[in-house]
Structure 1
Amino acid sequence: MTVGVEQPAYTLVYDPNPNGVTYTVSDFQKALEKGSDTEKIATMKRILVTMLDGNPLPDLLMHIIRFVMPSKNKQLKKLLYFYWEIVPKLDREGKLKQEMILVCNAIQHDLQHPNEYIRGNTLRFLTKLKEAELLEQMVPSVRACLEYRHAYVRKYAILAVLSIYKVSDHLIPDACEVIDSFLVAETDPICKRNAFLGLAELDREAALNYLQDNLTSIENLDALLQNAFISFIRKDAIKTPGLVSQYVELLQDLLVSTRSTDVMYEAAITLTVLTNKEAILLTVANKLIDLATKESDNNIKLVVLEKINEINEKNPGSLEDLTLDILRVLNAQDLDVRAKALDISLELITSRNVDSVVKLLRKELQSTADSSNDKTLEYRQLLIKSINKVAIRFIEVSSNVVSLLLDFIGNLSSESANDVISFTKQVIERYPELRSEILTTLIETLHEVKSAKAYRGALWVLGEHAQSEAEIQNTWKHIRSSIGEVPIVQSELRRVQNDDEDDTEKAPIVSTGPVVLPDGTYATESALSVSEKVKSTSNEEKEARPPLRRFVLNGDFFTASVLANSIVKLVLKFEKISKNTSVTNALKAEGLLILVSIIRLGQSNLVEKKIDEDSAERLMTAISVLMDEISTEESQAEKELLSLAFLEATNESYKSRVNVTLKKNAAKRSNYLAKHAEAIDKSIVFRQFKNAGLHNTPVDSIEEDIKLATTGTVSYSKLQANSITSKLKKIVPLTGFSDPVYAECYITNHQFDVVLDVLLVNQTKDTLKNLHVQFATLGDLKIIDHPPSTNVIPHGFHKITITAKVSSADTGVIFGNIIYDGGHGQDSRYVILNDVHIDTMDYVKPAICDDNSFRKMWNAFEWENKLRIKSKLPSLRGYLEKLVEVTHMKVLTPEEALGDNDSRFLSCNLYSRSTFGEDALANLCIEKDPITQEIVGEIRIRSKTQGLALTNGDNITRMGRTMNIVSVDRV
C-alpha cells in the first residue's frame, strides 16, 4: 500500500466460531435458500468474515438479493448493509454491476421506510458509499430525510449530504446552502453539531459567520456543539493567524464558564496549541489539575497529567507555581498516577517551593507508616526516592530530609531502607559540612535497622566518614552495643543453659569436657548439642537481639566482613589522630575479641548457616592487620600501604561513582536545555513581511497525533522497511518447485498478530478442486482464520491470508498441508508444507531497570539458559554490539564500567522487556584469549518463562554460527 492513498475502512464483524469448519460457496447458497432467518443470520456472519479475509465470493451476490434482501428481520437487514458495504460493486471494466440496480431500488425503499431506525441505518450506510452512480439515485430521498420529524434520521441525513458532496460535488451542487439552512432551522444539538462540522469542512466563511452569531450565547450551548466550535477554532487559527488573539480570548471565556469536563479539556488543549503566554498556561494547567483531581478514572488522570507534562516541556519554568497543586493528585489510589504526579512535580521544584514540597512529602510518608499493604509499601518507596532526588538537588533541605528518613528507617522495607542509606552516602559525599550532623543522627537510629543490606551500607558510612575522636568513639560504642556480649558463643550457651534450668520438665545439659573440632580448635559438648534449642528460639526473641548479633546468628557473615573492614578503618584513623596509645590498644584488643568471637560463632552449631570461606578470609585478614598494628617493628611503607588500601582507595572509588552520576545528570539537563532553549542570535520572523502562504504559528500537534495514530510514521526507515527488496527477504517458500502446487508466504508482524499472505500456484494442467490449506501451530500462537476451499484453474494463482494471534514472545512454529480432490474418484491428495518459524523478536524491546529490580528478578526467575561463547570477532565491544542487536537488549552496566575498547575482559548485565510484559535478563562474562585471540566466555539468560530464555539462546547461537563462518579467498 502506497503512502497517501486513502483506503476504505470497513465495519468489523465479530466472528463467533473462529475455529469452526470451512464452508464452500455451494454450502452458503444452500443455507441462504432453505434456511430460516436465524440460520440466515449465522450464514451472513460467516460470509462477512470470509469476505473480510480477502475472498470476495462473487457467486453469492444474486442469492443474497433473492433470499436475504426481501426479509424484514431487523438483524438480518443490518448484516445485509454490512454486506453491501464490502461487496465489489463494479465489474472488471469498472462499470456498475447490473445486479446493483436491484440493490439501489431496495435502498431507496429503505430511505422512505416508516421506521426511523431503518432510515437512519440506511443513511449511515450511504456515508460509506463511494460510487457516484449509486448515490445519484439516492439524492432526492436524502434531501427529503433532512425534514423528517425524528432527529435520529436528520442527524445521519446531514452527514449523508456531506458524504455525497465529497464523492461528487455535481450530485448536490448546493450542499453548502442546504447545510446552512438546515443549521439555522435545526433545534436538536446532535444534528446541529453534525451540520456545523459539515459546514466547517465545505464553507469556512459560513461556519465563521455562524460562530460569530452564537458568540453571545456560546456558554449556554450544548457541549457537543461547543466541542465542534473548539475543533473549528483550532484548525482555522492555524490557517488564519490574524484571528489567533480573538480565538484565544474566546477559548479562555469558554474554559472558565463551562461545566462540561470534555469541553474544558478540549479548550485547554487547544489553548496550549495556540499560545505560549505564561498566564494563560497557568490557567490551563489549573483547570487540568482540577480535572485530574475530580475524575475517578485513572486513565483520564494519566492522560491529563501527560498533557500537563507536555506543557512544562514546551514551556520550561511556566508551571513552577503549580507544584503543590499537582501534588494534590497524590490522593489517587493508583500507583501509576501517583508516580506520574511526583515525576512532574520534581521537574518543577525550585528553591522557593522546595520547603513546602518536602513538608507535603513528609506528611504523605507519615501517612504510610502504619500500613503494611504491598501497594502502600511501593508508594512509600516511591516517596523515599522522590525525597532523595529533592535533597540531592537542594542542600538547604538535605539535613532535614536525612533526619526525616532516618527516623522512619525502622519501619521501612529492606529496599527502602537501603535507598535511605544510599542517599545518606551521597549527601555526605556532596555536602561535607553536613557530615557530623548526619553521622550523629545515623548512630542514634541505626539500632532500629532491620535490613542487613541497609546496615552494611551504614557500617560503610560510619567507617568511611567518622573523622574525629568523638565520632570514632561514638561509632565504636554503637558497634559494641550492637554486637552484644562477647564472646558470643559462651554468652549464647549461658543463655541456653539458663533457659533449660527454668524448664523443669527437661533434664539439664551436662558439659563433658572439651571436644576437638575438624579444624583442630576446641569446643564444649554443650556447644555441639544445643543446635535444636537455638533453632527453636521464637521470632520475638530473635528480633529483641541487637542488630549485628541478630544478623550474625542468622548466618549473615557478609555483614560481619563489612564490620571487619569498618573496625580496621576506625582503628587506623584513631591511631593517626590520637596520641593516647592506651585507648588505641584498647580498641585493637576489643576489635580482635569481636572478630575472633564471630569466627568461633561461625564454626559452631549456634548459627543457622556456617560461615563461608570468603567471609572467614576477610575476617582473618582484618585480624592479621590488627595484629600487625600491635607490632612495633612495622615499617612506615607498610603503614602507608594499609592507609591507601583501607582509607583512600574505597573513598576515591565512591567519589568517582558519584561524579559519574553527576555527569550523567548534567548531560541530561544540558540536552534538555539544548532542545528547548532558543539561541541568542535567532532571527526574528515578521509575519507581515513573509509570503502569504507562510505564517509563524504553532503546529497543530493534535492533528499530528491523530495522523500518526491512523497512518503511522512515514520516516525513511519505515519506507525502507516496506520496500520491495526488504519484502522479498521475508518471503518463505512452503513447497518445492516440483510439487503440483507451489506455495510461498510473506510474513508480517502487526501489533499482536502475525499475518501470512500465502500465494498458491497450480503447476498442473488440471483444475484442482476443493483445494484448501490447513495450518496448525506450536508454541503460543493461535490460528484464527480458516479460509474456505476453492477451485484453482490450470496454472492459476490463488491468494489467501492467514492470521495467527501471538500471546508471548516465544518463538512459534506454523506447519500445515494443502489438500485437494483427486481425479476420477481417487482419494484426496496432500502436499506437505515446510515449517514456518515465526520470529517474535519484534515484540521484544530494550528496557531499563535499576540494580535492585534486576537483582530481585534474577533471584526470582526460575528458567536459565547458559551458553558457552567462542567468537572470532576482533574486539569485546564489537561482540557486545552484535549481541545487543540480535537480542534487542539494553546494557545496564554503565559505560565507564565496561572498560577500555582494548580491554581483555568484559562483564555486563543486559535487560529487555516484551510487549506482553515478559522480562528477559542476561549476564555476559567474556575475555579475549591472549594466545588464540578468540573471544571466550559465557552468557546466562534468565526469564520467567522457558520459551523466552530459549528464544534468546537460539538467536545468540545463530549469531555465533553466522560470525564464525570461514571465508576462503583463494585455493
Structure 2
Amino acid sequence: MFSGNNILLDQQQSLAGFQTANQVNILSPNQPSEENPIKFETLKDMKFPYPLESKSNFLTVLNQLIKINDGKNFNLLNNFYLMLSLNHATELLLSFFDQPFIVFDYVVKTLKDKNTYDNVTFFKLKSRMVENNAANVNSRIESMGESCSPNNDINVKQCSNCFQYSNFKLDFLKEFFEVENLKGGPEGSNKILLGIGYYNEIAESYNKDQPTVQDIKSQLESPRDEVKIATMKKLLLLMLNGDPLPQVLMHVIRFIMPSKNKQLKKLLLIYWEICPKLNSDGKLKQEMILMCNALRNDLQHPNEFIRGMTLRFVCKLKEAELLEPTIPTVKACLEHRHPFVRKNAILAISTIYKNFEFLIPDAPELIKKFLHTETDPNAKRNAFLMLMNTNQQSTVEYLDSVWSLITTSFDENLQLAAIELIRKDCKSPGADKAKYIQCIFSLLNSTSHSVKYEAANTLVALSPHSTAVKAAASCYIELVLKESDNNVKLIVLKRLNELREKHDRILDDLIMDILRVLTSPDIEVRRMCLSIAMDMVSNRNVDECVSFLKKELVKTHDQSEYEKNSEYKQLLIHSIHQCAIKFSEVAANVVHVLMEFVGDSGSSSAVDVISFVREVMEKFPHLRSGIIDRLCENFNEMKTSRVFRGALWIIGEYAVEGNSIVESMKQIRNALGEIPILASEQRALEAHDAPEVSAESPSAKTSTTPKRVLADGTYATETSFSANRRGSTKAVSVKPPLRALLLNGDFFLGSVLSTALTKLVSRFEKLSQASSPELKAKANELKAEAMLIMTSIIRIGKSDFPISKIDEDSHERILTCLRVLSIKKSENSNFMNEIFLEDCRNAYKNLVLTDQLKKDEKLKKDKKIIKVHADDLIGFRHLKSKRVLGGTDEYDLDLNMATGNTEKGDKMKNKLSRVIQLTGYSDPVYAEAYVNVHQYDILLDVLIVNQTNETMQNLTLEFSTLGDLKLVERPTPYTLAPHGFHSIKANIKVSSTETGVIFGNIVYDGSSALDMNCVILNDIHIDIMDYINPAYCTESQFRNMWMEFEWENKVNVNTNLTNLREYLDHILKCTNMACLTPENSLQGDCGILAGNLYAKSIFGEDALANICLEWNEGGNISGHIRIRSKTQGIALSLGDKITVSQKGVK
C-alpha cells in the first residue's frame, strides 16, 4: 500500500531536487502562491514550464497544489487532471502508481464530466485493479462501473453502489492524503474530500447510517429484540434501494425466523416478500425450504393475527414451489374459529387459484360450501366475490337459494356484491330479468346510500321503462337530499343529468323534487340543481317552478349573512329570466317581482334584472307600458351606474306615449335635483360654510388658517381647491342618486342620460306635430329642460366639484345631443331622428335575434339523435366500430374510456401529426412516440427499432417529467434482436393545465456487461390546447372573474395579417377559446376591434382574454392581448401559445 509519506513528498525536498536539476520553480512567479492562493477558474490557465513525464514531477505538482490551498479547493486536483488528455493521462497515472485506485476515481469522474464512456480506458483500469488484487474494493468498483456509468447514472442519490464506492474512497483518501493534518479536523476534511465529483456531502450523511454487511450480521445475532428490529429496518431499506444483500439470508433465517416477537415477524414477512428467491439459473434457492417450513408453522400458529398476516403474505408469493406445501394448511384455515383468519384464507385461496389453478383445482367447490356455513359478513363477501369471479353460475345458484335474505339479512358489502352479480348475469341469455328487477327495486329502499346508488344505476341498465327511470331518478334525488358530502351530491346530480338527457321529458314531473335540493348551502350544488331544473321546465310545470323560484328569491333578503348570497341571488334571477323568455305567459308575473331588485346594492344582481327587463321589453311589446310605469316608480331607488344606464336606455327606447314621456322626464329631473347643477352646488357649499364664518369674530375673518403640526414636525397646508373638494364631497352623500354619481365623476352616465333625453324629446316632438298648441308648447318646454340638463352636465364636468373632470368622448356625445335638439326641422333633423329613434333599437333587435339563433343552434346540436335504428344489425362490443355506441351499456363505455379504446373522429392526418420522432435515423436505436391525450392522463405509445446487427439486452426506456406531470410506472427492461422492434407504453398523469415537458433516454447493454450505451431522446412538449375547451359566460360573470383573477400576461400583437377580423379568428383557432363579444359588434369596417375571449380547462380552470387591435395607416395591425387566470401556469402557457402562433402566421 502507498502511504501518505510515500506520495506526499516534502515541498522543500521536491523543490531542492528540481533546482539541482537546473529547473525553475514549478509554479512561476506570476502564478498563484501561498500569499495568492489558487482559484478554481485560474487553474486551467496555469502553464507548467516542464514536461509531466516523470513520477517526481507529477507528484511534486500534486503536492504543491494541495499544500498551497491548504485543502480548501480540493476540486483543483481533479481539474488538474482534466487539463491532460484522457488516454495519455491514464497511461501516465497507471505508470506512476502501483495501485490504480485514485486513477480509477479520476477517470470515472472525467468520463462523467465529459459525458463520454471510454470502454478501452475503463477495461484497462479494471484489469490493473484485478491484477493488483484490489481486495474487497474490486467488486464495488466493478459494480459501480456497470451500474453507474455516465450514461446510466440518472439519479445518483438513489444509487447504493455509488455510496458503497464513496465509503471506500473516503477511507482510502484519508490515508492517501493525510486529511487529519488539514484544517477543520477529520469532519471538515470529509467535506473537502467528498467535494470531488457528484459525491459532495450526500455520501457523508449516508455513510453515518449505512452499516456494512458484517455490521448487519453481528446486529442480527444480538439477543435484544430492539436491536434486531432496528437492524431489520435498515436491512429492508438497503434492499429496497437496490442492494439484494444475499449474504445475510442465512443470518435472517437463523436469528430472526425463530423469534416470537410480533413486530419482528411482520418485518420478516416484508423481507420474504422482497428478497430474491431464485438462483441465477432460475431455480429456487435451497434456503427457501426453511422459509416454506416457517410459513407452514405460522399458518398453524395458535395466534389468529399471526395466521392472518401469514395468509396475506401468501397472496403475494409468485412461486408455485413455495405455495404447494402450504395448500393443506391454507384450506384448514377456512375452518378456523376467528373470522379474521377465515377472511384472509379466502383471499389466499382466490389468489392461488387465479395464478396457479392446478395447485387448488377444487377452490370453487370449497368456497361454495363455505358460503352456506359462514356467518361473518366480511368473510362471506370475500367468498362471494371470489366465487363470482371464478364460477359465476355457482354464484347465481347460491344467490337463488338465499333470495329472500338479500334485502333483510345481507349487510351493505354483501348487497353491493349481489348487485354486481346481477349486473353481470343480466347479460347472459338465460337470466331472469324480471326477478332481478324486482330485487333491485327492493334495494332502492336500503338504508345504505351506496347500495341505493348502485341499485339505481343497475336498474336503469336493466330496464329503460319509464317506471324504472322515475324510480332511479327519485332515488338519486333522495340521495342528494340526505347525503351531507357536497362532492357526493355533485356526483349524483351529474348522474341524474345524464339520466335526464337519455330519457327526455320522462322526468319533467320531478322538477319540484329536484328544486328541493336548493336547501343545500353549497353554491355549486345549487348551480347544478338549477341547471338541471331549467332543462326540465315545460308548459305543465313552469308556473310551479317560477313560483318556487320567486319564493327563494324573496328569502335571499333575510339571508344577507350568507357568504354566497349575492351569487345565489344572481342564479335565481338568471333562472327566472330563462323561464320568462321561454314561456311568455309567466313573463308578466315575473318581471314585476324582479324589478324590486333594481335598487339592490349588489350591482351584479341589479344589472341582471335590468338586462332581463330590456329583453322582455323587446320580445313582449304588450308588457311595455306597465314596465315603463314600474321602472319610473323605482327610478330613484337605483344605486349603481350600470343599472341607471340600462334603465335610461329602456326609457329612451320604449317610452313612446306622451304621458310616459312626461313622467319619465319628471323622474329624471327628481333624480338630478336642482338645476343648474354647478350653481346649486356653489350655493350649497357657501351655505355650508356660512354658519362657521358668522360665528367667528371680525378679526378671525381676515386671519390666516391656523397652523397645524403633523407627526413628522412639519406644518400642514391646505389649498382652496382641496377645501372646496372636501366641502362638496361631504354634501354628495345626501344628494339624489343620479346627481351623486355625476359628482363622483361618472360622465359616461351623463352621456347616456343626454342620449335618452334626446330620444324622449324627439319622440314627443313627433307626437305633437299634428296636435294642439298646448302639446307643442309642452314639447318646447321639455326640449329646453333637456338642453339645460345637458349644459349643466358639461359645466359641472369642467368645474372643480367632481372627483375627475369630464372626458373628451362624453363631452363630444353630449354636444352632439345638444346640436340635434337645437337644429331646425329639416332633412338633417329627420336623418338624425331616424338614427336616434330607429337605428339604435334595430341594433338591439338584431343582437337579440342573433342570441336566439345561437340558442336554437345549440338546441339542435343537443337534441337527441337516433344513433341506432330498429332495423340495424346487432353489434358486438369487440367487433363493432367505436363510432356506433347507441345501445351500448354504460359500463362498456366506462371500460372503453379506461382502456383508451375510443375514437374522437380524428382524421388520419391529425393522428399522424401526434407522432413525435425521439431519435435520429443514424442512432443505433430509432424511437418514435404516438402521444394519445386522454382527459386526465397521457398515453405514450413508443416504437423502438434496433438498427444494429447486435442484440440489445436490458433495453430500458427511462422518462422524466417537468411540470405537473407524473410518470405512473417505469417501463420494464426488454431484449431486442438485431433489426427487431418493440412497442412500449408509458402512462403519465396530468394534474393541471400547464405546459409540461417529457424527456428521457434509452439505455441498453451490448454484447458484454461492460458495453453499456445511452441514447438521449428528444423532448416531448405537451400542448396546453389538449386540455382547454371553448366556454361561454355572461358579461357580469366575465367582469367578476376579470377583477378576481390576479395573474395577468400581456402579449403584444406582432403579425403579418392586415385584416382585424382574420387576426381575431386566427387567435380563436390557435387558443381554442370562444369569443363572448356579440357578432354584431364585430361586423363592419372599422379601424379598431376589441373583444373578450373565454375558455375553460378540463380541470375547471378559467382562462380570460381581452384583445384590443388597431389598424394602422401602413396596413399593419398593432395592439395587445391581456390574459388573466387564477393560476400562473395557464396564463403563461396561453401567452406562449399566442406568441408562437403569431410567428407562424403568413
The residue aligned with 2:813 is 618
User: Which of the residues 666, 671, 676 maps onto 1:487?
Assistant: 676
Q: Does 1:603 align with 2:805?
A: no
Q: CA deviation at 1:904?
A: 8.8
1:758-907 matches, cutoff 5 A: 841=1024, 845-848=1028-1031, 849-859=1033-1043, 861=1045, 864-872=1048-1056, 880=1064, 883-884=1067-1068, 886-894=1070-1078, 898-899=1082-1083, 907=1090
Among 497, 511, 516, the residue aligned to 1:323: 511
- Taking the aligned partners of 2:1068 and 2:784, their CA distance within structure 1 comes to 54
- Matching residue within 306, 330, 346 for 1:118: 306
Deviations 1:199-244 (A, max 9, x none): 2222233222222222223221222222211111111112237522
TM-superposed deviation, 1:37: 1.9
Residue from 214, 229, 234 that aligns with 1:37 = 229
Which residue type is aligned with residue 376 of structure 1?
Answer: N
Alpha-carbon distance in structure 2 between the residues aligned to 1:156 and 1:882:
62
Letter in 1 for 2:675: V
Q: What is the TM-score of this pair, normalised by structure 2?
A: 0.67
- Partner residue of 1:178 out of 366, 371, 379: 366
Matched, 1:923 2:1109: no
Q: Distance in 2 between matches of 1:724 and 1:107?
A: 55
Partner of 1:60: 245
SS at match of 1:368: helix
Q: 1:627: how far off?
A: 0.8
**Match in the other structure for 1:518:** none
Partner residue, 1:591: 786
Distance 2:498 2:961 in 1: 47
- Tell me, yes or no, if the aligned pair for 1:37 and 1:73 is still in contact at 8 Å: no
Give 2:1091's aligned amino acid.
Answer: C
Change (3 A) 1:224 1:747: closer
Answer yes or no: is the 8 Å Cα contact 1:731–1:747 preserved in 2.
no
The residue identity in structure 2 corresponding to 1:922 is A
Q: Which amino acid aligns with 2:230?
A: T
Q: Deviations over 1:766-792 (max 9, x none)?
A: xxxxxxx99998x889999999xxxxx
Tell me if 1:24 matches 2:209: no
**What is the match of residue 434 of structure 1?**
623
2:854 to 646, 657, 664: 664
Q: Which amino acid aligns with 1:442?
A: L
Equivalent in the alignment of 1:205: 393
Whole-Å Cα distance in 2 between the matches of residues 82 and 754 of structure 1?
33
1:117 positional shift: 2.6
1:750 Cα deviation after fit: 10
Partner of 1:521: none
2:501 counterpart of 1:313: yes
Please name the residue that 2:1135 is paired with. Answer: 953
In structure 2, distance between residues paired with 1:860 and 1:868:
23
- Per the alignment, residue 555 of structure 1 pairs with 745
Instruction: Quote the Cα distance in structure 1 between the aligned partners of 2:997 and 2:403.
Output: 63
1:549 is paired with a residue of what secondary structure? helix
2:889 corresponds in structure 1 to 700
1:376 aligned to which of 540, 560, 565: 565
The alpha carbon displacement at 1:571 in A equals: 1.2
- 1:219 corresponds, among 404, 407, 412, to 407
Matched residue of 1:922: which SS? Answer: strand
What's the secondary structure of 1:675's corresponding residue? coil
SS at 1:411's partner residue? coil
CA contact (8 A) 1:755 1:804 kept: yes
Farther-moved stretch of structure 1 (330-339 vs 301-310): 301-310
Q: Contact 1:891–1:908 (CA<8 Å) still a contact in 2?
A: yes
* 1:182-193 equivalences in 2 (<5 Å): 182-193=370-381
Q: Does the 8 Å CA contact 2:305/2:340 hold for their aligned counterparts?
A: yes
Percent of matched pairs sharing the same residue: 42
Within 1, Cα distance between the matches of 2:397 and 2:506? 35
The question of 1:159 aligning with 2:347 is answered: yes
Partner of 1:279: 467
For 2:546, the equivalent position in structure 1 comes to 358
Separation (CA, whole Å) in 2 of partners of 1:544 and 1:816: 71
8 Å CA contact 1:223–1:263 kept in 2: the answer is: yes
Question: Could you tell me which amino acid in structure 2 is paired with residue 59 of structure 1?
Answer: P
Bigger mean CA offset, 226-235 vs 914-923: 914-923
Amino acid paired to 1:952:
L
What TM-score comes out, normalization by structure 1 length? 0.78
| Corresponding residue SS for 1:187 | coil
Q: CA RMSD in A?
A: 5.0
CA distance in 2, matches of 1:720, 1:116: 61
Measure, in 1, the Cα distance between the counterparts of 2:727 and 2:1142: 54
In the alignment of these two chains, the number of paired residues is: 872
C-alpha distance after superposition, 1:140-171 (max 9, x if no partner): 22211111111112112123222222223322
The equivalences for 1:325-724 within 5 A come to 325-370=513-558, 371=560, 373-503=562-692, 529=720, 532-535=723-726, 542-578=732-768, 579=771, 580-628=775-823, 631=824, 634-635=825-826, 637-675=827-865, 682-683=870-871, 699-702=888-891, 704-705=893-894, 707=895, 710-715=898-903
Please name the residue that 2:97 is paired with: none
Amino acid at match of 2:528: K
Stretch moving more, 131-140 or 280-289: 131-140
Q: CA deviation at 1:674?
A: 3.5
Residue 433 (structure 2) aligns with: 244
Which deviates more, 28-37 or 320-329?
A: 28-37
Does the CA-based 8 Å contact 1:732-1:836 persist in structure 2? no
**Partner residue of 1:135 out of 323, 342, 359:** 323
When structure 1 is superposed on structure 2, of 60-69 and 318-327 the one drifting more is 60-69
What is the correspondence of 1:87-102 to structure 2 with a 5 Å cutoff? 101=289
Asked if residue 911 in structure 1 is aligned to residue 1102 in structure 2, the reply is no
Corresponding residue of 1:8:
none
CA apart distance, 1:850: 3.0
**Residue pairs, 1:720-739, within 5 angstroms:** 728-729=916-917
Contact 1:531 1:605 survives alignment (8 Å): no
- Take 1:865 and 1:378, find their aligned partners in 2: how far apart are those partners? 28
Distance 1:860 1:464 in 2: 34
Which amino acid in 2 is paired with 1:60? Answer: L
CA contact (8 A) 2:733 2:740 kept: yes
> Are the aligned partners of 1:230 and 1:267 in contact in 2 as well (CA < 8 Å)?
yes
Equivalent in 466, 469, 477 of residue 289 of structure 1: 477
8 Å CA contact 2:935, 2:1098 repeated in 1: no
* 2:1030–2:1094 contact (8 Å) kept in structure 1: yes
Query: Is the contact made by 2:515 and 2:529 (CA closer than 8 Å) also made in structure 1?
Result: yes
After superposition, the Cα gap between the structure-2 partners of 1:99 and 1:388, relative to the gap in structure 1 and judged at 3 Å, is farther
**1:588 Cα shift?**
0.6
Q: Any gaps of 5 or more consecutive residues in structure 1?
A: 1-18, 51-56, 512-527, 762-772, 788-800, 819-830, 965-971
Looking at structure 2, the residues matched to 113 and 722 of structure 1 have their Cα atoms a distance apart, in angstroms, of 63
Amino acid at match of 1:852: S
Residue 102 (structure 1) shift: 5.2
Asked if the contact 1:139/1:172 (under 8 Å) is kept, the reply is yes
Distance 1:206 1:200 in 2: 8
Is contact 2:917–2:1018 with CA below 8 Å preserved after alignment? Answer: no
* Matched residue type, 2:236: M
- TM-superposed CA distance for 1:570, in Å, is 0.7
1:302-330 superposed Cα distances (whole Å, 9 cap, x missing partner): 12222221221111111111111111111
Q: Higher relative contact order at CA 8 Å, sep ≥6: structure 1 or structure 2? A: 1
